[in-house]
């Protein structure tokens, strides 16, 4: 397992809607993420800046790179695009974070 951390950015005033959509996450999306080898997925909000900080575990044989082509993922990104900064294909802009400290 490998841990991956990254940052995304909400548009102003979209935190409540972002939370509501994740509270009602589509079962087919959750299943897709698990099937791709993603687990222990957390997203945190910096309420002052609207920055989202996420961590997830990736299985050694994960298929995370296949997700952008999947119709369920594309539909989710399309539904979330009004809330977040995105690329032209509605994929959220994502900045990788560098590990600086870990205490087990």
Token pair belonging to 89 = 């294909």
- Maximum separation of any 2 CA atoms in the chain, in Å: 39
Residue 57 belongs to a domain: yes
**What average pLDDT is seen over the chain?**
97
User: What CATH number has the domain bearing residue 24?
Assistant: 3.30.70.100
Burial of 51 per CB tally in 10 Å (0-12, 13-18, 19+): middle
The answer to whether residue 71 sits within a structural domain is: yes
Look at residue 1 and tell me whether its pLDDT is greater than 90: no
- Percent of the chain residues topping a pLDDT of 90: 98
The whole domain housing 68 covers 2-96
22 is catalytic: yes
Overall number of domains in the chain: 1
Q: Does the residue 82 lie in any domain?
A: yes
CB 58 within 8 Å of CB 4: yes
Catalytic residue among 4, 22, 70, 102: 22
pLDDT interval class at 2 (50, 70, 90): very high
Q: Is residue 102 part of a domain?
A: no
Q: Which tens digits make up the pLDDT trace of 49-61?
A: 999 999 999 999 9
41 within a domain of the structure (yes/no): yes
The verdict on residue 103 lying in a domain is no
């Amino acid at each position: 397992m490998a841990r991956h951390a990254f940052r995304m950015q909400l548009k102003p005033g979209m935190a409540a809607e972002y939370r509501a959509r994740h509270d009602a996450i589509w079962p087919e999306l959750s299943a897709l993420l698990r099937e791709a080898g993603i687990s222990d997925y957390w997203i945190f909000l910096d309420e002052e800046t609207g920055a989202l900080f996420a961590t997830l575990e990736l299985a050694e044989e994960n298929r995370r790179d296949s997700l952008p082509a999947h119709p369920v993922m594309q539909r989710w990104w399309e539904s979330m695009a009004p809330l977040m900064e995105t690329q032209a294909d509605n994929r959220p802009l994502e900045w990788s974070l560098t590990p600086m400290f870990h205490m087990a």
